[in-house]
Amino acid sequence: MNIYLRACLPTFFLGLLLFTLNACASQANIDKGVSKEKLCSMAKYGELEASAFNFKNKKTNSFIFHCLMDINIGAPMPTSGKTDTSVSRNDKSIRKMQLAEQLLQAEIDVSTRNKFGDTTLMALIYAFFPDAWQAKMAKKLIAEGTDLSAKNMDGDTALTLATRKNNQEFIDIINTPQ
């Protein structure tokens, strides 16, 4: 075996072990003061386990919901592909969808806005998730009282964004009287 490999291999495995332990500690300590930025990053990249999350704080639930909807180009929508990388990404996308559903069940403030002024519904319109799931979530958000006339920092409403994205299903959901 190459001397370089013999010297580096133990260091590599030690680093991997420390990284794994840190990730486990983060999951175990979500209720013990993990920063909102860390929670957001974990949610955005599908690393936040619902079982480790405290759903009691409506404001935090709303914040995490926005993080879940944040555009993440590196994590495509769930597919039926079975390659090594797509399974991992598929699992993370499914985990994000399940957590979003649990947050909505636990109660979120549908009027909260992200840094661009988008409501939860507006954030959902631009999220990369299967259309049927997004439609189901949109109906729930509207039923919870989302203000359909709310405008983001650019002056756009949810209907404007759905029209711009050419998403007829969202347009129909928004225009259907509740």
Q: pLDDT, tens digit, for every residue of 35-90?
A: 778 878 777 777 777 666 667 777 877 888 878 877 654 444 444 444 445 446 66
Does 15 map to a domain?
Answer: no
Contact 67, 38 (CB under 8 A): no
Looking up tokens 């439609």 gives 135
DSSP state of 83: S
Output the CA angle 159-102-96, nearest 5 degrees.
Answer: 75
pLDDT at 149: 94
Q: What are phi and psi of 65, to 5 degrees?
A: -60, -45
Does 18 map to a domain?
Answer: no
Alpha carbon distance 161, 32 (integer Å):
37
Does 9 map to a domain?
Answer: no
Does 8 map to a domain?
Answer: no
- What does the block give as tokens for 167? 């998403």
| Percent of the chain predicted with pLDDT > 70 | 67
Domain around 40: 31-175
DSSP state of 177: -
Alpha carbon distance 62, 2 (integer Å):
52
Contact 124, 86 (CB under 8 A): no
| Percent of the chain predicted with pLDDT > 90 | 20
Does 68 map to a domain?
Answer: yes
Does 24 map to a domain?
Answer: no
Q: Is the pLDDT of residue 157 over 90?
A: yes
Q: Helices in 71-152 by DSSP H: which ranges?
A: 84-106, 120-125, 131-143
Does 83 map to a domain?
Answer: yes
Q: What are phi and psi of 31, to 5 degrees?
A: -85, -5
The domain that holds 79 is classified in CATH as 1.25.40.20
pLDDT tens digit string along 114-138? 888 999 999 898 888 888 888 899 9
Alpha carbon distance 64, 153 (integer Å):
20
